[in-house]
Amino acid sequence: MQGLTEKTESEIDKASENSSEHIQGELVYLVAEDLKLAASLLFQTYYDDELLQKIFRADKPDYEKRLRAAIREDLNAFWESGQPIIGIRDGGTLLGVACLTRPGKSFGPGRFWHWRISMLLTAGFLSTRQVLEKERLIQQAMPDVPYHMLAFIAVAPQYQSQGVGHLLVEAAKAVFEEDPESQGIAVYVTRSDYQAFFKKRGYRLQAQIEVEKLPGEVLFYPRQED
């Protein structure tokens, strides 16, 4: 596993010192061998997500299969395109994971043809179209500047409320701050408690949008002026 850069590690050390709990774990960029663990953790976290339940039809018997497939295809797309996938590990245990996309249009509503084909075969046409529409609406709500997107963030149930989520957010911020092109980091959130979590950490309301008739907020953490 590749470690974070010295600058990023310094920022994370500061965040760790300010956490309510001392986290026994190492912040790293995940590698291919870690993707199965990351997919499992993301599935646990997003299984009850109201938006994904709408998109992938939680009322259908194959909901779990399609959600797992969608998460797997997304992680593969992140990995193949070199997008940052950050994890906190304690030995062989993955405590949390955060997936970002870098600035640029190579990853977003357009995606890759092989991703689209795989999604069509596993999740179906309607779900694939709705995923792309969600990303289009988010991109439309953002200013026309380069920015990172926090696509996924998850903490293992037994490690929640221990500062892991805070460290992942700080790690994501450190990653974007190392990219001189990026003007900030965005996240789309539908739950009010998660909205409060990000706003407490400096994210601002960029726009309110509806996806599948479910209201949510596009939040943005802008680059801070020196």
The per-residue pLDDT for range 84-122, each reduced to its tens digit, is 999 999 888 899 999 999 876 554 544 555 556 666 666
The arrangement of secondary structure in 2-222, i.e. its CATH architecture, is 3-Layer(aba) Sandwich (3.40)
- The mean pLDDT of 136-153, rounded to a whole number, is 92
| Whether the predicted pLDDT of 13 surpasses 60 | no
| Whether the predicted pLDDT of 14 surpasses 70 | no
Percent of the chain with pLDDT over 90: 54
Give the model's pLDDT for residue 133: 86
In one letter, which amino acid is 190?
T
Give the model's pLDDT for residue 6: 45
77 — pLDDT class (breaks 50, 70, 90)? confident
Residue 169 and residue 123 in contact, taking contact as beta carbons nearer than 8 Å: no
Give the model's pLDDT for residue 166: 93
Sequence-distant (6+) residues with CB within 8 A of 92 are none
- The torsion angles phi and psi of 159, rounded to 5 degrees, stand at -115, 10
Q: Domain boundaries in the chain?
A: 2-222
Residue with tokens 């995606």: 111
DSSP code of residue 124: -
What pTM value is reported for the model? 0.84
Plot region of 13 (φ>0 → left; ψ -120 to 50 → alpha; else → beta): alpha
